[in-house]
Copies of this chain bind each other. A is one copy, B any other.
Amino acid sequence: MSRAQRAMSEKTAPASIEEFDARLREISGTLPKRLQQCAEFVSANTDRIAVSTVAELAAAADVQPSALMRFCKMLGFKGYSGLQRLFRDAYSQQWPDYSTRLATLRAQSDSAPSALLAEFVETGRLALEDLVGNVDPAVLDQAVAVLAKARLVHVAGYRRAFPVASYLSYAFEKMECPSMLHDGTGQLNQRHSISPDDAVIAVSFAPYTAQTVSLVDHANDLGCPVVVLTDTAMSPFDGDNVSVITVKDADVAGFRSLTSTMSLAMTIAVSVGRMRGV
């Protein structure tokens, strides 16, 4: 066993990305050539660790798998799997398993409201961070353009999507964009007010309210462009004139936090307002 290896074996494995970075900086420079090569490649490609095998990473770094193994041990890990676990967890711990976490929450039946608040806040924060990485600017631009061109914007969203719809409607009103909220009051069917010159923005989450689905289909059949904000790719919204934007908004205690959807909705509304204002 080499001097360097002996030196590391006393150390314990990094427990976070920060510790990993620190350790890397600490040993960098004291390493033999091939291991230095590993260090450089790894620190420049941390994103690949979670999704690559040793063989792949070794090939990409132009070293032998065994060199990478030695490098991992140098950092204090038991092997490559240890290093990989760190990066996989860092990525997916962002979206913890809510079924299990909910169980824990329910278990502490005396759970104070403030614990629940923390849960909502944390979920909302992660949802927002996720939103930034998952929205395609091109799709967003296109949605805004479509809505800005419309003579009248129809806003639809029922049940838990209704708060978003109503805020959209408020924003459009404030910016003096002609819009109409399909609120379902009195079970009146307002869809006959939709014309091909208009546009529709619909918000809907699983289980997709039948009324929303049929409204979207109706508009699509008329040749009226539709923008849908929804939760998963499994949504039943489809058609030549329909563009779908998916937002992941995790549930807490059975209720969607709506933070991401709200932020996205406001972005669209304000952008439309600005574009029309010009």
Q: Using a CB–CB distance below 8 Å, which chain A residues touch chain B?
A: 20-21, 24-25, 28, 39-40, 43-48, 50-52, 60, 62, 88, 91-92, 94-99, 101-102, 105, 108-109, 111-114, 116-118, 120-121, 124-125, 128-135, 137-138, 140-141, 144, 159-160, 162-164, 166-167, 170-171, 174, 185, 206, 231-236, 238, 248, 252-255, 257-259, 262-264, 266-271, 274, 278
Query: How many whole Å from A110's CB to the nearest CB in chain B?
Result: 9
Residues of B within 8 A of A140 (CB): 111, 113-114, 117
Q: Is the CB of B254 within 8 A of A174?
A: yes
Whole-angstrom CA separation of A131 from B47 in the bound complex: 12
Query: How many whole Å from A244's CB to the nearest CB in chain B?
Result: 9
Whole-angstrom CA separation of A47 from B252 in the bound complex: 19
**Residue in B closest to A185 when the chains form the complex, CB atoms:** B185
Taking a contact as CB atoms closer than 8 A, the residue among B116, B166, B257 that contacts A262 in the complex is B257
| A20, A98, A118, A268, most chain B CB atoms within 10 A | A98
Whole-angstrom CA separation of A263 from B143 in the bound complex: 27
Interface of chain A: mostly helix, strand, loop or mixed: helix
Q: Is the CB of A132 within 8 A of B137?
A: no
Whole-angstrom CA separation of A162 from B262 in the bound complex: 13
Residues of B within 8 A of A51 (CB): 50-51, 88, 91-92
Whole-angstrom CA separation of A232 from B24 in the bound complex: 10
Q: Is the CB of B92 within 8 A of A118?
A: no
**Residue in B closest to A263 when the chains form the complex, CB atoms:** B120
**Residue in B closest to A269 when the chains form the complex, CB atoms:** B255
| A99, A125, A206, most chain B CB atoms within 10 A | A125
Q: Is the CB of B238 within 8 A of A25?
A: yes
Q: Is the CB of A132 within 8 A of B121?
A: yes
